[in-house]
Amino acid sequence: MQTKLRGRDMITTQEWTKDEIDTVMSVAMDLKRKRALGEPHAYLRDQVLAMLFFFSSTRTRASFEAGMAQLGGHAQFIDSTTTQISHGDTAKEIGEILGRYNDGLAIRQCDWGVGNRYIRDVAAASRVPILNMQCDVYHPFQILADLMTIIEKKGDPRGLTINVSYAYASSYQKPMSVPQSLILLMTRYGMNVRLTRPPEFKLMPGIVQQAHDNARQSGGSLVVLDDFDAGFENADVVYPKSWGCMLTTEDMEESAEISKQYTDWICDERRMSLAKKDAIYMHCLPADRNIEVTDGVIDGPNSVVYDEAENRLHVQKAVMALTM
Query: What are the sequence ranges of the domains in the chain?
Result: 13-139+312-323, 140-308
User: How does pLDDT run across 57-114, given as a tens digit for each residue?
Assistant: 999 999 999 999 999 999 999 999 999 999 999 999 999 999 999 999 999 999 999 9
Distance CA(315)–CA(324), nearest Å, equals: 14
The 3-state DSSP class for residue 153 equals helix
Q: Which of these, 65, 140, 143, lies nearest to 104 by C-alpha position?
A: 65
Q: Which of these, 228, 229, 138, 224, lies nearest to 176 by C-alpha position?
A: 138
User: How does pLDDT run across 187-227, given as a tens digit for each residue?
Assistant: 999 999 999 999 999 999 999 999 999 999 999 999 999 99
pLDDT band at 269 (very low <50, low <70, confident <90, very high): very high
Q: What are phi and psi of 100, to 5 degrees?
A: -90, -30
Average pLDDT for the chain: 98
Find out whether 71 and 103 touch, Cβ atoms under 8 Å. no
**How far is residue 277 from each of residues 18, 98, 114, 294, measured CA to CA in Å?**
30, 49, 42, 18
Say what the pLDDT of residue 250 is. Answer: 93
Let me know if the fold of 13-139+312-323 is the same as that of 140-308: yes
- State the sign of the Cα–Cα–Cα–Cα dihedral 177, 182, 185, 188: negative
Contacts of range 61-69, beta carbons closer than 8 Å, 24 or more positions apart: 63/312, 63/313, 63/316, 64/106, 64/133, 64/316, 66/313, 67/313, 67/316, 67/317, 67/320, 68/44, 68/320
The answer to whether the predicted template modeling score (pTM) of the entire model surpasses 0.85 is yes
Distance CA(103)–CA(112), nearest Å, equals: 28
Q: Which of these, 64, 9, 138, lies nearest to 314 by C-alpha position?
A: 64
Task: Provide CATH code, domain 140-308.
Answer: 3.40.50.1370
Q: Determine the average pLDDT of the residues in 244-261.
A: 96
User: How does pLDDT run across 120-163, given as a tens digit for each residue?
Assistant: 999 999 999 999 999 999 999 999 999 999 999 999 999 999 99
For the CA atoms of 264, 265, 269, 271, what is the dihedral angle to 10 degrees?
A: 120
Q: Considering just the CA atoms, what is the radius of gyration of the chain in Å?
A: 19
Tell me yes or no: is domain 13-139+312-323 CATH 3.40.50.1370.
yes
Q: For Cα atoms 52, 14, 140, give the angle at the middle one, nearest 5 degrees.
A: 35
Distance CA(232)–CA(239), nearest Å, equals: 9
